Amino acid sequence: MGIVKAIKLVHDYYKYDESGHVEGTYRALDNVELDIEAGQFIAVLGHNGSGKSTLAKHINALLFPTEGALWLDGMNTTEEEDIWKIRQKAGMVFQNPDNQIIGTVVEEDVGFGPENMGIPTDDIWQRVNESLEAVGMTAYRHHSPNKLSGGQKQRVAIAGVMAMHPKCIILDEPTAMLDPNGRKEVLRAVKELNEKEGITVVLITHYMEEVVNADKVFVMDQGKVVMQGTPREVFSRVEELKSYRLDVPQVTLLAYELKQAGVKIPAGILTTEELVNALCQ
């Protein structure tokens, strides 16, 4: 069994009318099957309302399945007594950097998780130092989070999760509110954690460019996992992606159009270099 495994995962949101009665349900997750191996870099793609954030919150036991089940590192998320262990092992980074930083000083925020876990003071300091170093924010440790850029704030948030020594990090659209530079900064930090520390990464996004380097891509639409495979496999199905209101990276689209027009190049080209090489052959 992989580090994250979901079987027939269903989640219904209830709509209430004014007097508090259930008016109807909205199925955010519909029979999701998922198996993620430890150490992988996973990307989950999907349009707004495709259920990808709901899925993320299930991995961290912030939401519980209506039907089916989800296991994290062998622990069922519905087991009440495992809930804090699950949240420690699966760290979560949210979209809005301002709304997830609790401390008034960078280093205090990074220490927040370990404090909650009841780690002794000396160990907290060691974890904080290591985590800040891992995301390259050591120089800002005494700064107020309010004075940092968006990318820096997200790196602090990642450090805050790292200090809890998770096995898996779930990033729920971490770059949606950042400028291009901040986006690169954050992705580089995440990639490094995945490669150097061997942490499983689940990156949820709707930016195609961010998933090119992933080991596996899941595409979600209306609560279902509709496509999965390596980025190359997924991106070679341009028409299908378009039907889920997703855009493929520009290079991939160009290569696809060229192929349609009769140029002989392989399917699923992901980078500019690949396209150049394919065309020059």
Partner 1 sequence: MIRDITIGQYYPADSILHRLDPRVKFVGTIMFLVSLFVANSFWGYLLATVFLAAVIIMSKVPVKFMLKGLKPLFFILLITVAFNLFLIPGKVLWQFWIFKITQEGILQAVKIGIRLIYLVIGSSVMTLTTTPNQLTDGLERLMRPLNKIRVPVHDIAMMMSIALRFIPILMEETDKIMKAQIARGADFENGNLIQKAKNLLPLLVPLFISAFRRADDLAMAMEARCYHGGENRTSMKPLKYHSRDTSAYLCIFLYLAADIAIRVLI
Q: 75 or 117: whose CB is closer to partner 1?
A: 117
CA–CA distance, 193 with 203 (Å, rounded to integer): 13
Task: Give the burial string for 74-107 (b: 16+ CB within 10 Å, else e).
Answer: ebebeeeebbeebbbbbbbbbbbbeebbebeebb
Subset of residues 68 to 107 that bind partner 1, contact rule: CB under 8 A: 84, 87-88, 91-92, 94, 96, 98-105, 107
> At residue 184, what are phi and psi to the nearest 5 degrees?
-60, -45
Write down the least CB distance from residue 259 to partner 1, Å.
Answer: 43
Give which of 36, 44, 37 is closest to 224, Cα–Cα: 44
Q: 186 or 241: whose CB is closer to partner 1?
A: 186
Of 115-123, 188-196, 197-205, 261-269, the window that binds partner 1 (rule: CB under 8 A) is 115-123
Give which of 81, 2, 36, 61 is closest to 228, Cα–Cα: 36
Q: 120 or 262: whose CB is closer to partner 1?
A: 120
Q: 165 or 216: whose CB is closer to partner 1?
A: 165
Site residue total, partner 1 (CB under 8 A):
39
Write down the least CB distance from residue 145 to partner 1, Å.
Answer: 8
Write down the least CB distance from residue 272 to partner 1, Å.
Answer: 37
| Whether the Cβ atoms of residue 32 and residue 225 lie closer than 8 Å to each other | yes
Of 57-65, 197-205, 230-238, 254-262, the window that binds partner 1 (rule: CB under 8 A) is 57-65
Write down the least CB distance from residue 268 to partner 1, Å.
Answer: 35
The token duo for 129 is 């130092």
| Whether the Cβ atoms of residue 189 and residue 29 lie closer than 8 Å to each other | no
User: Three-state DSSP class for 44?
Assistant: strand
Query: Judged by CB under 8 A, does residue 143 bind partner 1?
Result: no
Binding mask 200-239 for partner 1 (x = CB under 8 A): ----------------------------------------
Give which of 94, 45, 5, 55 is closest to 214, Cα–Cα: 45
Residue of 113, 150, 151, 268 that binds partner 1 (CB under 8 A): 113
Query: Judged by CB under 8 A, does residue 48 bind partner 1?
Result: no
CA–CA distance, 201 with 56 (Å, rounded to integer): 11
Give CA torsion, residues 176, 182, 187, 189, to 10 deg.
-130
Residues that bind partner 1 (CB under 8 A): 57, 60, 62, 84, 87-88, 91-92, 94, 96, 98-105, 107-108, 111-121, 124-125, 128, 145-146, 160-161, 164
